Homo-oligomer: A and B are copies of this chain.
Amino acid sequence: MELRNLITFIHVAELGSFTKAAEQLGYSQSTVSFQIKQLEDELNCLLFDRINHTITLTERGHKLISYAHQIRALIDDYKEGLGGEQDLKGHIHIVSPDSVCEEMINSNYIDFHQKYPYISIQFSTGDSTVMLDMLDHNEADVIITLDQHLYNKDYVIAKEELLPMHFVASADSRFAGKKNLSIEDIVNEPFVLTEYGQGYRRVFDKELAKKSLEIVPVLEIGRTDIITSMVAGSNMISYLPDFVTKPLIESGQLCYLDVKDLNIEIWKQLIYHKNKWISKSLKAFIDYVKEKEFSS
């Protein structure tokens, strides 16, 4: 049974005429005859009595009408739903480094939820490798990386920005206020860094390696809030994105170290897979993140 035939059937039944239905549908009359016959053959019963060139629904025809209407209604319903607001239901999985995740939840998520109450969001954290893998397996809808500048024809970069990075120490560190520090000056200090998997950590190590240097941190931990509070209360040094350290800088607990000779570019990138179907919900979310999470 094909929908085309059911639609024709509805028209014929409503107009009580094959000919009129054909006109209305833009078919030839013989086509309508054929389509109805097709239905009748498949259902193995007559849908219309044809007596003296007048057609009347049979009992089964009558019953089919009601089913056909329901079917058509379902399809219309679905198609209408496609454009409508209720398309803003759904589930979105976003994966980002812990720091970004935390910031998002703290600053923006409530707003978003109020604006789109029917979109459910799953936040996960992961390092760049895992995140890209998740994109490849369609396990994440979008990811946010803090890493070197990524580019790959399989991915769409929805938005990106260069991320200021700083060495930070507690405000009363012996390096506080010193100008023109070199990386060599601090390379043997106790460091607390994010785990190696984290994008910017890897870039950091690699850049040091270029200078034949290596930093072995005394502590590695993903949670940047813990790192900053540790740095603030000890003589340890860390290397972190500005948005992480800013609050404690402003409150005077941390200070930047003026190290100029390490040239690292860390990008914050909002990425999804090029083959990903962007639902309305997802689009809303991406737009939201683009606007709120990225400064530019």
Contacts and interface: CB of A to CB of B under 8 A. Distances in A.
Interface of A: 1-4, 43-46, 49-52, 54, 56, 58-60, 63-64, 67, 70-71, 74-75, 77-79, 81-82, 87, 89-91, 135-138, 273, 275-277, 279, 281-282
Contact of A279 (B60, B67, B79, B138): B60
Contacts of A4: 2
Contact of A2 (B2, B60, B79, B81): B2
Given A1-B3, A2-B2, A279 B137 contact: no
Contacts of A276: 49, 51
B137 A52 contact: yes
Given A58-B279, A59-B90, A138-B56, A82 B43 contact: yes
Contact of A51 (B2, B75, B81, B138): B138
B50 A275 contact: yes
A45 B137 contact: no
A2 B75 CA distance: 11
B3 A51 contact: no
A277 B52 CA distance: 14
A277 B49 contact: yes
A90 B60 CA distance: 9
A59 B3 contact: no
Nearest to A57: B277
User: Which 3 pairs, one residue from A and one from B, show the smallest C-beta to C-beta distance?
Assistant: A46-B277, A58-B277, A59-B279
A215 B65 CA distance: 54
A281 B59 contact: yes
Contacts of A2: 2-4
A67 B123 CA distance: 30
Given A49-B275, A67-B74, A277-B49, A137 B54 contact: yes
Contacts of A1: 3, 75
A292 B123 CA distance: 76
Given A2-B2, A54-B138, A64-B78, 6 more contacts: A3-B3, A51-B137, A51-B276, A52-B138, A60-B82, A60-B279
A166 B207 CA distance: 123
A89 B56 CA distance: 18
Nearest to A51: B138
A275 B51 contact: yes
Contacts of A64: 78
Nearest to A44: B82
Contacts of A56: 138
